[in-house]
């Protein structure tokens, strides 16, 4: 019995981060899953292509991370992030988008997202950001960081 306990604790320590990908574009979702599955520390447990189904799927899949496209037809993704943060606080949502602007980044973080990543991000950086969010860090892609800095008020000469 003691050996089983040790095995279980080793599995917990070395288990893969479970990810749900939410993106309405099937080609992007498929490419993203291939990228994530190339890393032995990550596994994509579900892909959701309709924003309306996302909460139910995430609740049932119990992932560690949700990688969610900002631009999902027919839904307010920021409201969905707020609901995740409120009702499923152990799930860390990272917004993932080609629309990297200060307003979206601020709205995502204010809604409870654990980060904002650009779809233009290098796969190595993307995977590292997901791992860091899994460890409890707020993450911004390089592009999101640059956009945030450029939106800061300018100081006088």
Give residue 9's pLDDT. 35
Higher pLDDT residue, 98 or 148?
98
Give residue 47's pLDDT. 94
Query: pTM score, two decimals?
Result: 0.84
In-domain check, residue 71:
yes
Q: How many CB atoms lie within 10 A of CB 114?
A: 24
In-domain check, residue 81:
yes
59-92 tens-digit pLDDT:
999 999 999 999 999 999 999 999 999 999 999 9
In-domain check, residue 9:
no
pLDDT score of 6 more than 50: no
Give residue 152's pLDDT. 53
DSSP letters spanning 42-85: EEEEEEE--GGGHHHHHHHH--SEEEEES--TTS-HHHHHHHHH
Give residue 4's pLDDT. 38
Look up residue 153 and give its DSSP letter: P
In-domain check, residue 88:
yes
Give residue 157's pLDDT. 57
Number of domains in the chain: 1
Which stretch of DSSP H or E encloses residue 18?
A: strand 17-22
In-domain check, residue 4:
no
| Residues spanned by the domain of 22 | 14-151
Tell me the CATH number at 144. 3.40.50.2300
In-domain check, residue 57:
yes
């Amino acid at each position: 019995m003691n050996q089983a306990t040790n095995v279980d604790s080793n599995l917990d320590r070395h288990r893969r981060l479970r990810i749900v990908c939410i993106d309405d574009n099937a080609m992007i979702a498929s490419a993203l899953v291939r990228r994530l599955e190339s890393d032995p520390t990550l596994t994509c447990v579900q892909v959701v292509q309709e924003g309306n189904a996302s909460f139910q799927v995430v609740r049932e899949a119990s992932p560690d991370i949700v990688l969610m496209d900002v631009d999902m037809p027919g839904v307010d993704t920021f409201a969905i992030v707020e609901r995740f943060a409120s009702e499923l606080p152990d799930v860390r949502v990272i917004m993932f988008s080609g629309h990297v602007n200060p307003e979206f980044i601020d709205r995502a973080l204010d809604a409870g997202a654990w980060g904002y990543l650009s779809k233009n991000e290098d796969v190595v950086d993307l995977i590292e950001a997901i791992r860091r969010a899994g460890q409890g860090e707020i993450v911004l892609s390089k592009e999101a960081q640059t956009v945030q800095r450029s939106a800061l008020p300018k100081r006088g000469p």
